[in-house]
Copies of this chain bind each other. A is one copy, B any other.
């Protein structure tokens, strides 16, 4: 049963990442630099935001130190703004790719039961009371977050 549950959550994650990758391949750097809708975030901001969200998942899941700590200020702590322009579209595409490659690598080394261990931002005391606050829950939540923004980035298509 554990295996089945982990497969479902991983399938949902990988399926969403695949759709995001297909969209990113389809978009030119110029398209990615546009706002997804008038007055809304630029594609570049959302791409950086998703890369940092993935990076944050790595640390929550104990897969390693953050790969892109220099992106947190511009893409998580603040809304879209001039700080984003310090990163080229190519930087952002690469950050997204390296974070996902690293997640794939980390996930492939996890056994099914590892997903039911506590993640790094819940205390042992709270986890004893709330065992659903595990690593698989982080993955489910990040998959939903990715879908939320993917629906928005799809508007960049011509």
Contact = CB atoms under 8 A, between A and B. Distances in A.
Interface in A108-157: 116, 131-132, 134, 136-137, 140-141, 143-145, 147-152, 155
A17 to B, nearest CB: 12
Nearest to A10: B132
A25 interface: no
Contact of A149 (B11, B143, B151): B151
A1 B112 CA distance: 12
A37 B42 CA distance: 14
Contact of A148 (B116, B132, B136, B147): B147
Contact of A140 (B1, B12, B132): B12
Interface in A28-77: 36-38, 40
Contacts of A38: 37-38
Nearest to A136: B8
Contact of A5 (B5, B145, B151): B5
27 contacts: A1-B1, A1-B2, A1-B116, A4-B131, A4-B132, A4-B134, A5-B136, A7-B132, A8-B132, A8-B134, A8-B136, A8-B140, A9-B140, A11-B132, A11-B137, A12-B140, A12-B144, A16-B144, A37-B37, A38-B38, A143-B144, A144-B147, A145-B147, A148-B148, A148-B150, A148-B151, A151-B152
Interface of A: 1-2, 4-5, 7-9, 11-12, 16, 36-38, 40, 116, 131-132, 134, 136-137, 140-141, 143-145, 147-152, 155
